[in-house]
Amino acid sequence: MPELSRFYGIVIKMYFGDHGPPHFHAEYAEFEARVAIDSLAVLSGDLPARAMGLVVEWATLHRRELQVQWDRASALQPLEQIEPLP
């Protein structure tokens, strides 16, 4: 699964050709959550509250880029890195 970004111990990934709705995977230590791009709702899994807050902050800043990467992954095209949180 290609890595899109990494910050504060959180890794953001996206699968090629994954099923909808458009989402990304956020991993932190032994935790993983699948997060919807449009609503930032957790579709499955969970993260500690602090890590989830950082993921939501990052995804809010990069929602358009996440959708572009979802479209690329759906078309089996190479994905590009997205800037981490500063």
The alpha carbon torsion through 77, 19, 21, 68 (nearest 10 deg) reads 0
Cα–Cα distance, 86 to 47 (Å, whole number): 20
* pLDDT tops 90 at residue 1: no
Q: Which domain holds residue 51?
A: 3-74
State the residue for tokens 């890794």.
Answer: 11
Catalogue the E-assigned strands of the chain: 3-7, 10-13, 23-28, 31-36, 42-46
Q: Is the peptide bond before 21 cis (omega within 30 degrees of 0)?
A: yes
User: 37 near 51, Cβ under 8 Å?
Assistant: no
Residue 3, number of CB atoms within 10 A of its CB: 14
Q: For residue 31, is it within any domain? A: yes
Record the pTM.
Answer: 0.95
Instruction: Tell me whether residue 20 is in a domain.
Output: yes
Question: Could you tell me if residue 85 is inside a domain?
Answer: no
For the stretch 16-70, pLDDT in tens is 988 999 999 999 999 999 999 999 999 999 999 999 999 999 999 999 999 999 9
